[in-house]
Amino acid sequence: MLSLLIIATLLVSPLIKAQSNSSTVVAVLLIGRHGDRTSKVQGNMQLTTLGKNQAFNSGSFFRSRYLNNSSPNFIADVDTDYFPDQVYAASP
């Protein structure tokens, strides 16, 4: 369900962006979950190969959308290299 919400948001966001050409992206908030994983029945839950590919593809999409200098959605004043003071990540 959460995946569908994220996909719907990603599909609608270009439409919102198209209405205002003078906007600048200053920050991005991403709420996501892990990809496909093994069940609790198998004991220790881990990402499957599909889940690893899903996580990689998701990261690649967001990097190309928000950290690519030529993208219209490039985050203003962010360095394209990783700096801990520019990124915050948390998990429950």
**Domain ranges for the chain:** 44-84
Nearest partner of 58 among 13, 5, 6, 17, judged by Cα: 6
- 5-42 tens-digit pLDDT: 455 455 445 544 444 567 788 888 888 878 888 887 87
**67 close to 75: Cβ distance less than 8 angstroms:** yes
Phi, psi of 75 (to 5 degrees): -75, 125
Distance (Å, whole) CA 24 – CA 59: 21
- The predicted model gives 42-59 an average pLDDT of 87
Q: How far apart are CA 40 and CA 35, in angstroms?
A: 15
pTM: 0.61
